[in-house]
Amino acid sequence: MKFMQTIQAYDVNLFLWVSQRKSQRVLVRGARYISKTGDGYLYLVLGLALAWSGQPEESALLSCLLVGFALERPLYFILKNLCRRDRPQTALNIPSFIIPSDRFSFPSGHTSAAFLVATLLSFFHPALTPALVIWAVSIGMARVVLGVHFPTDTLIGALMGTLLALLSLEIQLT
């Protein structure tokens, strides 16, 4: 239990440090834009483009994405409602910069989905890996800057998305 208290204390302190930066206005403006790229619309456009391409490799990528999201979304929902961790605005009584889509913060669904997509796209298109990693990490950081997640929410979301992407590759390609 002491270990979890230590993690919680670290998490709160890091969150408070981020929220007190002098450049917060600039960070928030950028974070809003980056966070919106993880709202799901781009994933739908990506899926439609992959389906429309008709290329075998892109069809395989689309299959992996569909399996990945079929695993990720239910797991995300189960964990979020099982853990029921309050968002920073509730836990610390600090206003967030956006209105979250639900009540609980753990794990970060935006981060999980971004890492799922980034990992799968990187597997099929390795040249895009640096940009995809920067984008996925930026999604997680944006969620903390916007005040809707603690850092560990995004860390676990990143781990979950990456592992589920690898699992979907294993399921689809073997």
Q: What is the CATH number of the domain that holds 36?
A: 1.20.144.10
- Each of the 174 residues of the chain gets a pLDDT tens digit; together they read 677 778 788 778 787 877 776 566 778 888 889 999 999 899 999 999 999 998 999 999 999 999 999 999 999 999 999 989 888 888 788 878 888 888 888 999 999 999 999 999 999 999 999 999 999 999 999 999 898 999 999 999 999 999 999 999 999 887
Closest of 66, 83, 60, 47 to residue 157, by C-alpha? 83
Q: 114: closest CA among 77, 78, 139?
A: 139
172, 60 contact by CB (below 8 A) = yes
- What does the block give as tokens for 26? 């600039």
Q: What is the pTM of this model?
A: 0.89
Tally the C-alpha atoms within 13 A of residue 5's C-alpha that lie toward its C-beta.
Answer: 2
- As annotated, the active-site residues are 110, 149
Q: Which domain holds residue 166?
A: 32-173
Q: Which residues pair with 104 in a beta bridge?
A: 86
Instruction: Let me know if residue 46 belongs to a domain.
Output: yes
The answer as to whether 114 is a domain residue is yes
**Domains held by the chain: number:** 1
User: Does any domain span residue 26?
Assistant: no
3-state helix, strand, coil in the chain (%, to 5): 80, 0, 20
